[in-house]
Amino acid sequence: MKNRKRSVDFLWLGLLAFLALLPLIPGLLRSSFTQHVAIQILLYASMAQAWNILGGYCGQVSFGHSVFFGIGAYGAGMAVVKYGMIPWPGAFIGAVLAAAVAVVISYPCFKLKGHYFAIATFAIVEIFNRLFMVWYWVGGALGLDYSFTDQGWTHFVWYESKRGYYFGVLLLFLLVFGVVRWIERNRLGFYLRAVREGQETAESLGVNSAKVKLMAMALSAFLAALCGAFFAQYNYRVDPPMVMSLDMSMKFVLITILGGLGTFYGPLLGAALLIPLQEYSRAFLGGIGGGVDLIIFGLLIIIVVVYQPRGIMGIIDGIRVKAKRSKEGGE
């Protein structure tokens, strides 16, 4: 048991070292497009992992995470565009606000069962989307456009090279994955999974399931909002359909499902499969008409849900078990 844990840690640290050194390896990540793909993978992996806290570990499938993502994006955007400040305080305030909004909306929503909960989260996305469209203080349907500022970490904006963004998103990735790694090993992680597997049982063991769900929601929303702030900085703009839409919400869910619900590496694997697929098919298959990436994505989702509900992690586990069996058989 102990040994297994250490080897997993090794994998995690090795992965981080690899990701940190990636831009230094000559030849790799040279083109700005490859850098863009790498940044997108880490961003979407972080988003999916933030969602995974609530949807995967705690089992409360929310389709409303683009709302929190959007609030974070608007936090950074408002700070920069409206107040001419650096984005950092905006991102932080946005994240806190997102967590607060999440708690306020989920408190009644958690009483709803199954599909009723799912539809309520769809409804919330639609409401926020429409309200932000007409809220002129935050730019309405036009959104917020960044003007030129100094480059660098203070303003979290780079124009010539994407390398700054790469390290920025790596920090975000480290934060989100680090938090989940910590949760997994500690009491909260056990409580989250206990609530997922059986709320009544968890309560019989002294777990306040309502509080655990709200904590998962708040944390998940906070981290999703930070991802949103990065997204705004990276795109130099925010508008409602970009950040607060059902399609964006579904990305949180589907990447996690694709990779493996409630697993640590699932969100990364899902993003590592999906994002290159999306970016490269857009770039190279554009000639045969639009939407090819989403056609493939749609197919993948159907196949995964129907044939491998545990996602890529499920496939890897299957191979591992088989390898172990054949090894034992050989001895």
Partner 1 sequence: MALLEVHNVTMKFGSLVANDDVSFGVEKGSVVGLIGPNGAGKTTLFNCISGFYRPTSGKLLFKGQDVTNLPAYEMARLGAVRTFQVVHPLKEMTVLDNVLVGAFLRGADTDKAHEIARDCIALCHLEDMSGRMAGGLPIGYKKRLEMARALATGPELLMLDEAMAGLTSTEIKAAVEIIKGLQKRGITLLVVEHIMEAIMSVADKIVVLDGGIKIAEGPPQEVVNDERVITAYLGAKFSQRLKAAQGGDPRE
Partner 2 sequence: MGTFFQVALDGLFNGLLYAVVAAGLSLIWGVMDVINFAHGEFLMIAMYLSYWLGFIWKIDPLLSSLAGGLFVFLVGALTYKLIISHTIGKSAMSALLATFGLSMLLKNVCLNRFSPNFRLLQGTFLGGKTYNFGGLIVPVPQLAIGLVALLLLTLLYALVKRTRLGWAIQATAMDKEAAELMGINTEKIYLLVFGLGGACVGIAGGLLPSYLAVHPEVGGLFSLIAFVCVAMGGFGSIPGALLASLLIGLVEAFAGFYIAPVFKYVAVFGLYLVVVMVRPRGLFGW
Q: Does 183 bind partner 1 (CB under 8 A)?
A: no
242 binds, among partner 2, partner 1, none (CB under 5 to 8 A by kind): none
CA distances from 55 to 48, 175, 260, 291, 330 (A): 10, 19, 11, 27, 40
Using CA atoms, how far apart are residues 36 and 41, in angstroms rounded to an integer?
Answer: 9
Q: How far is the CB of 72 from partner 1 (least distance, A)?
A: 29
Q: Applying CB under 8 A, does 208 fall inside the site for partner 1?
A: yes
Q: Which of 8, 16, 127, 316 binds partner 2 (CB under 8 A)?
A: 127
SS3 (DSSP) at 60: coil
**Out of 10, 33, 116, 284, the residue judged to bind partner 2 by CB under 8 A:** 116
CA 80 → CA 23, 73, 120, 154, distances in Å? 28, 11, 32, 12
Check binding of 328 to partner 1 (CB under 8 A).
no
Query: Is residue 190 at the binding interface for partner 1, with CB under 8 A as the rule?
Result: yes
Whether 204 contacts 45, CB under 8 Å: no
Q: Output the CA–CA distances (angstroms, integers) from residue 32 to 159, 185, 282, in the order listed.
A: 11, 37, 16
Other Cβ atoms less than 10 A from the Cβ of 29: the count is: 20
* Interacting residues with partner 2 between 233 and 272 (CB under 8 A): 246, 250, 253-254, 257
**Is residue 287 part of the contact set for partner 2 (CB under 8 A)?**
no
Question: Do 70 and 243 form a contact (C-beta atoms < 8 A)?
Answer: yes
For residue 283, what is the enclosing H or E element? helix 266-284
Should residue 110 be labelled a site residue for partner 1 when binding is judged by CB under 8 A? no
In the three-class reduction of DSSP (H, G, I as helix; E, B as strand; rest coil), residue 156 is classed as coil
Nearest CB to partner 1, comparing residues 202 and 304: 202
Which CB atom, from 101 or from 183, has the smaller least distance to partner 1? Answer: 183
How many residues of this chain bind partner 2 (CB under 8 A)? 42
User: Which residues sit at the interface with partner 1, rule CB under 8 A?
Assistant: 1, 185-187, 190-191, 193-194, 196-198, 200-209, 262
User: Which residues sit at the interface with partner 2, rule CB under 8 A?
Assistant: 61, 108, 111-116, 118-120, 122-124, 126-127, 130-131, 133-134, 246, 250, 253-254, 257, 288-292, 294-295, 297-302, 305-307, 309
